[in-house]
Amino acid sequence: MVTLLNDTILQLEDIHKSFGDTKVLDGISLTARQGEFITLLGSSGCGKTTTLRIIAGLESPDSGRVLLEGKDMTQAEPNKRDVNTVFQNYALFPHMNVEQNIGYSLKIRRAAKEEIRRRVGEMLQLVQLEGYEKRMPGELSGGQKQRVAIARAVINQPKLLLLDEPLGALDLQLRRQMQQELKRLQKKLGITFIYITHDQEEALNMSDRIAVMKDGVFQQVGTPSQVYDAPKTAYVAQFVGTANIVRGVVDRVDGERVTFRNEDGTGEFLSRGYGFAPGEPVALAIRGEQAQAEKAGEKTGPGLFGTVKEKSFSGGMLRICVELAGGQEFICSRHGIDSELAPGDRVRLSWEPGSACPVDREEVR
């Protein structure tokens, strides 16, 4: 049972869903508060869109409950829920101009013409499309269509707005611009957003909290910094950003400081509240930008040993790929365009103990 807070808008309680013999959602629970921006992040087929459709009332769960503002809406029709959806293809009416598209829901509710005109004007100002009232969808750019779709979705001030990869059809530069625009709109409106994407950059840039999904389960729900800096599972560590997963056996425990060993060498990490004992297997996530590669023998101390395989440069970062003795690749990255290290060099990999995060320490649910 999810605890209800005074500002809770949405509760998903132990939702299960299968299509035939295929289990799509395996007991997910989530609480969204007023004004939150929550992103469901995961690869194709993980259950993101099914979750959104269950919230919207377009699918029914096999078991579990959907509550909106504390009221059980699990079996309620979509039009009985104070929820709107923005789809990736925007779904604008091609025979209606911008003004008619945005005001359509008010028209079918028989609102007065003057009220429709006023509310549409407010929406056009909000999404910065003043002067586009008479444009047809075919005359708009992708970013403009997306703004019209959002204006149409929020004109009735829903409690909850669902967005199903709305930036997926845009080019990279426009997508980044619209990320900032969407966040600005969300904060100004104060509406709770549930956003779907497989793009980790979008999730990290826009979200108050991220729910990372895999195989119909939330692997982790937390703030961007929690998900990035303290991943709970190897999957989260490697899906959100990139991380090296290093496995070994605990060698020594000294308070919070733990030493492990494997065939490539030794290393240290902080236990982060987990209990560890000598001889216990451990898996650690180490971000490439938090690791250092130095020529073997230059310094002493804990480290893993390997050979530089290749160097590459991308996005302002130098990427050094090291092949460990066991054959695993370990990636180090840093700002800059060059390093004295060259392919074939024998190196020692090291990191600060606090930057190595234990993963897969508890059952995922």
Q: What is the pLDDT of residues 22-35, one digit of tens each?
A: 999 999 999 999 99
Helical H segments across the chain, by residue range: 48-56, 98-108, 113-126, 142-154, 172-189, 200-206, 224-229, 234-239
Average pLDDT score, the chain: 90
User: Is pLDDT above 90 for 256?
Assistant: yes
Q: In what order do the strands lie in the sheet with 83-86?
A: 83-86, 160-164, 192-197, 37-41, 209-214, 217-222
pLDDT of residue 5: 53
Query: What is the arithmetic mean of pLDDT over 322-340?
Result: 85
Going by pLDDT thresholds of 50, 70 and 90, the confidence category of residue 364 is very low
User: Is pLDDT above 50 for 335?
Assistant: yes
Query: What is the arithmetic mean of pLDDT over 243-251?
Result: 96
**204-246: per-residue pLDDT in tens?**
999 999 999 999 999 999 999 999 999 999 999 999 988 999 9
User: Is pLDDT above 70 for 4?
Assistant: no
User: Is pLDDT above 70 for 284?
Assistant: yes
Distance CA 234, CA 217 (A): 14
User: Is pLDDT above 70 for 2?
Assistant: no
Going by pLDDT thresholds of 50, 70 and 90, the confidence category of residue 362 is low
Copy the structure tokens of residue 364.
Answer: 């995922």
Going by pLDDT thresholds of 50, 70 and 90, the confidence category of residue 42 is very high
pLDDT of residue 86: 87
* Percentage of the residues of the chain whose pLDDT score is greater than 90: 68
DSSP, collapsed to helix, strand or coil, labels residue 56 as helix
pTM (2 d.p.): 0.88
**109-158: per-residue pLDDT in tens?**
888 999 999 999 999 988 889 999 999 999 998 888 888 988 898 888 89
Helix pair angle (142-154, 172-189), 10° resolution: 20
* Coarse DSSP helix, strand, coil percentages of the chain, rounded to the nearest 5 percent: 25, 35, 35
